[in-house]
Amino acid sequence: MADYLLPDVGEGLTEAEIVGWHVAVGDTVTVNQVLLEIETAKSIVELPSPYAGTVEELLVEVGQTVTVGTPIIRIDDPNAPAVEAPPRPEDVAAEGPETLVGYGPRETVSRRRRSGAASGSVLAPGHRPPVAPPAPAARPLASPPVRLRARELGIDLNQVRPSRADGVISMADLTAAPAATAPEMPPLKDREYREPVKGVRRMMAQAMVESAYSAPHVTLTVEIDTTHSVDLVRKLRQDPRYAGIHFTSLLLMARACILALRDHPELNARWDGEAITFRRYVNLGIAAATPRGLIVPNLKDAADLSGPELARAIQQLTETARDGRAQPADQAGGTFTITNIGVLKVDSGTPIINPGESAILAVGAIRRKPWVITTKDGSEAIAIRDVVTFSLSVDHRFIDGAIASKFLAQIAAYSEDPSGLGL
Amino acid sequence: MSDLIQLLTTDGVRVEDPDVAFAPDAALLAEHGDEAGVLRAMLRDMTLVRRFDNEATALQRHGELGLWPPSLGQEAAQIGAGRALAAHDFVFPSYREHGVAWCRGVELVDLLGLFRGSDHVGWDPAEKGYAPASIVIGAHALHAVGYALGVLHDGAVGTGDAARDTAVLACFGDGATSQGDVNEAMVFAASYNVPVVFFVQNNHWAISEPLTRQTRIPLVQRASGFGFPGYRVDGNDVLATYAVVQRALEHARSGQGPVLVEAVTYRMGAHTTTDDPTRYRTDDELEVWRRRDPIDRLAKHLRATGAADDAWFAALEAEVEAFGTDVRTRCHAMPEPSALASFDETYVEITPTLAAQRAEVEALLALDETAEVAR
């Protein structure tokens, strides 16, 4: 006994209409005898019998539209394989009516199973075979990419309930499935996420809190015409003594600070509540933004260096820091700090003093601005000049506004006329 | 020349042609005794191939094949050309040359593997001198010319040694003549004078496009544009097709360069099992060609001349029926392919990327295996 399943006579057709039967129950048919005509979306096709024997039952009616894979006629073929036990539900799921691809090579095997199923049920002529969603398959149905994703997520496909009618697990079904192990990365669509604070960030936070809540800060700013400094920088870039150095105005300011600290040692000192410790050396800190966060390495004994030595040392210091190779010793023992906020296109701010120090200078962006100048004949005019802003924060516990202002004025003077810097 | 060469009328009567005569080669005569024996063998060839083709069409309707391109009606063109080939010649077929495959010694059931999804080719192309089916229309004309160029470089042309001189047969249809690849192949073949025969089975329909839309002139006339000879032969006359292709192959083997053969025939069936020809052609047209059936006319000739009697035909009918059943049984028994076959059969040396993908698929299969065992 064998059932003929509606074949896909086109390429990827899913259903066909029964146009007419050429045989009736009780007829004897031979292999390839025309049994019926069907009409698909593409054509009218005669279907030849795969079996020889007596027609037992016509399982579909004329006019009915039938899904590919549905049994349409039962033939008592003595040579057909013996009827096996009814198939388990998973077989139906795996080889159900909507399977369009791949049933060809398995046909011999699967037909027997389905034949068994059909013989166990009573299908009246014209009865529409059930196309209900299949039960979950014991061997889960899923495409290779879905299987791979499931494996990556540690999901057991046996635990996944397919949402598709054909029982095939989709990528979307995986998201609802329980994972064996939590994925390491946070899901992309979280509206918030936490990042543990460690390393450089943690150090920075501790230093800033210690400084801001122990030393009362006061910040002064000054805006000055730095055109001559800019001209000097251009000149020194051509100077053979500074060959191989990317000379910037920051170097001028470092030199200016070192000279000004001689006259205002309070800004190079330290307050510990009992006494003020003055230093006869300058360990000049340069704040550097690195991929890991803000660090402030300092240049030891910066006051002892000549102009070219200072330039080379600062360049080396900042490069080492940006490469993430600054050592803890490089960051310890600083006495005064410069932070170059100009590279961030910012003019001024209220910098927080590095712990263990008493002052910090923020150098702003140099901008072309209208400026009132005094011409040679003593009259005033408006000219376009290079203008920069300095912001100086000091520890107000022992540095008053007068001292800070004098220091800032001296820096400003060097910036306006850098001839005295000895570079 | 645009005149149709014919040696056997639709009534099964032998006629003369001023240029071409039917003269089976020595090997065929030796195998089948005499000319009548050769003709009986050709009728048997055509009948077996038709039975196979009908069975394959039915197998598609049974749900055993994904697709099938029927050769019904083109048997004489294919057997005529196929039997004219020497063993060491090489064929580049399209997907419909079941008769040529048969002549090359390919097991016909092996043609089904590609359409059942259980094999990539099904035979050893080098051993059979028969390349894998080209599904891309006309692309293999270039492969044929490339192979023929290789034959030329091997010096296997024009030596006068019949065991050495080699020809290449490129089989395609009238639709393919509209493809760039085929035209480029013809230009190149002429440029280098390679030993190739372009064998066009003009079956009048490029799926649903009629020949009249493909060309304003007989296809054979295109040969003169490329600068090589062309023959137009009755493709439903196995004698004429054999004679013309035999001459064309000899032309190529002797170093005189490419030849075009237009075999005028008719596709009695659908383009493929997916197609419905009643939508674009008339029953009247089909009836005209039914009267020109290639098998009927040779059978008539053999009966009329007494070369075959009722007993011979009865024996053939029994053989053919058993053959059909055997094809069906062996088709059912084709093994399921390995999912790794695509990796193993595409390149001689697998690329690193494919090797990595192969390992990935292998791991996935092992995973499936595990799930199977766990169940």
Task: Assess whether pLDDT exceeds 70 at residue A395.
Answer: yes
Residue A81: its pLDDT value, please?
62
Taking residues A110-138, report their average pLDDT: 44
Q: Is residue B10 part of a domain?
A: no
- Statement: residue A110 has pLDDT above 60: no
Judge whether residue A112 has pLDDT over 80. Answer: no
CB pair distance less than 8 Å for A32 and B55:
yes
Same-domain status, B218 and B349: no
> What's residue A276's pLDDT?
92
Confidence of residue A104 (pLDDT cuts 50, 70, 90): very low
In the prediction, which pLDDT does B109 show?
97
Distance CA A386, CA A375 (A): 17
Per-residue model confidence (pLDDT) at position B85: 98
Q: Which residues of A touch B372 (CB under 8 A)?
A: 139
B368: chain A residues, CB-CB within 8 Å: 139, 147
* Contact criterion met (CB < 8 Å) for B62 and A138: no
Looking at the structure, do residues B242 and B309 belong to the same domain, yes or no? yes
Only one residue has tokens 């009409």, namely A39
- pLDDT at B287 > cutoff 90: yes
Catalytic site residues of A? 396
Lowest mean pLDDT among A98-112, A113-127, B75-89, B148-162: A98-112
Most confident of A16-30, A293-307, B89-103: B89-103
- CATH class for the domain made up of A199-421: alpha beta
State mean pLDDT over B315-330: 97
| Mean predicted confidence (pLDDT) in A28-47 | 89
Stretch A133-152: mean pLDDT = 74
Q: What is the mean pLDDT of residues A149-177?
A: 81
The pLDDT of residue B115? 96
**Residue A128: exposure state from Cβ atoms within 10 A (0-12, 13-18, ≥19):** middle
| Burial bucket for residue A81 (CB in 10 Å: 0-12, 13-18, 19+) | middle
Residues B225 and B322 in one domain: yes
Same domain (yes/no): B68, B112: yes
- Out of B44, B204, B267, B301, the active site residue is B267
Residue B328 is predicted with a pLDDT of 96
Residues 6+ apart with CB under 8 A from A91: A110, A113, A114
Is 80 exceeded by the pLDDT of residue B314?
Answer: yes
B290, pLDDT greater than 60: yes
| Residue from the list A10, A102, A103 with its beta carbon closest to the beta carbon of B274 | A10
Q: For A2-120, give the CATH class.
A: mainly beta
> What are the domain boundaries of chain A?
2-120, 136-188, 199-421
Mean pLDDT of A215-232: 94
**Out of A7, A104, A147, whose CB is closest to B116?**
A104
Q: Which residue of A has its CA nearest to B330?
A: A108
Q: Does B64 touch chain A (CB under 8 A)?
A: yes
* Bigger pLDDT: A191 vs A104: A191
Statement: residue B216 has pLDDT above 90: yes
Q: Are residues B318 and B182 in the same domain?
A: yes
Helix (H, G, I), strand (E, B) or coil at A17: strand
Nearest chain B residue (CA) to A6:
B63
Residue B4 forms part of a structural domain = no
Query: B79-134, pLDDT tens digit by residue?
Result: 999 999 999 999 999 999 999 999 999 999 999 999 999 999 999 999 999 999 99
The whole-number pLDDT of residue A85 equals 40
Residue B21 included in any domain: no
The pLDDT assigned to B369 comes to 66
* pLDDT the model gives residue B372: 59
> Domain A136-188, what fold?
Dihydrolipoamide Transferase (4.10.320)
Mean pLDDT of chain B: 95
Give the per-residue pLDDT at B371: 59
B33 occurs within a structural domain: yes
Please name which of A118, A74, A122, A67 lies closest in space to residue A97, comparing C-alpha atoms: A67
The pLDDT confidence band at residue A109, using thresholds 50, 70 and 90, is: very low
- Radius of gyration for chain B, computed over Cα atoms and rounded to the nearest angstrom: 22
Per-residue pLDDT averaged across A196-212, rounded? 82
Is residue B267 among the annotated active site residues?
Answer: yes
pLDDT of residue A92: 40
**Which chain B residue has the Cα nearest residue A100?**
B66
Q: What is the pLDDT of residue A152?
A: 80
Q: Do A48 and B61 touch (CB under 8 A)?
A: yes
Are B355 and B291 contained in the same domain? no
Total structural domains within chain B: 2
What average pLDDT does the segment A31-37 reach? 94
pLDDT score at A181 = 52
Contact (CB, 8 A) for A131 and A66: no
Per-residue pLDDT, A116: 37
**Whether residue B294 sits in one domain with residue B170:** yes
Residues 6 or more apart in contact with residue B113 via CB below 8 angstroms: B119, B120, B121, B122, B334
Instruction: Tell whether B8 is covered by a domain.
Output: no
Identify the three-state secondary structure at position B264: strand
CATH number of the domain where residue B259 is located: 3.40.50.970
Predicted confidence (pLDDT) at residue A312 exceeds the cutoff of 60: yes
What pLDDT is attached to residue A193? 79
In this structure, is residue B151 part of a structural domain? Answer: yes
Alpha helix (H) residue ranges in A13-120: 89-94, 103-120
Q: Which pLDDT belongs to residue A321?
A: 85
Q: Identify whether B179 is part of a domain.
A: yes
Structural element, H or E, at residue B27: helix B26-32
Contact, A269 vs A276, CB < 8 A? Answer: yes
Selecting from A46, A50, A144 the residue whose C-beta is nearest the C-beta of B62 gives A50
A279 has pLDDT over 50: yes
Residue B241 in domain: yes
Q: Quick one: pLDDT band at residue A163, thresholds 50, 70, 90?
A: confident
Domain span including residue B351: 341-374
User: A185 pLDDT band (50/70/90 cuts)?
Assistant: low
Whether residue B348 is predicted with pLDDT greater than 90 in this model: the reply is no
How high is the pLDDT of residue B374? Answer: 54
- Distance between CA A205 and CA A195 in Å, rounded? 15
Do B346 and B317 belong to one domain?
no
Cβ burial of A390 (10 Å; 0-12, 13-18, 19+) is buried
**A117 and A92 in contact (C-beta within 8 Å)?**
yes
Same domain, B217 and B134: yes
What is the mean pLDDT of the segment spanning A24-50?
90
| pLDDT tens for each residue of A327-354 | 778 888 999 999 999 988 999 999 999 9
pLDDT at position B346 is 85
- Amino acid code (one letter) for B339: A
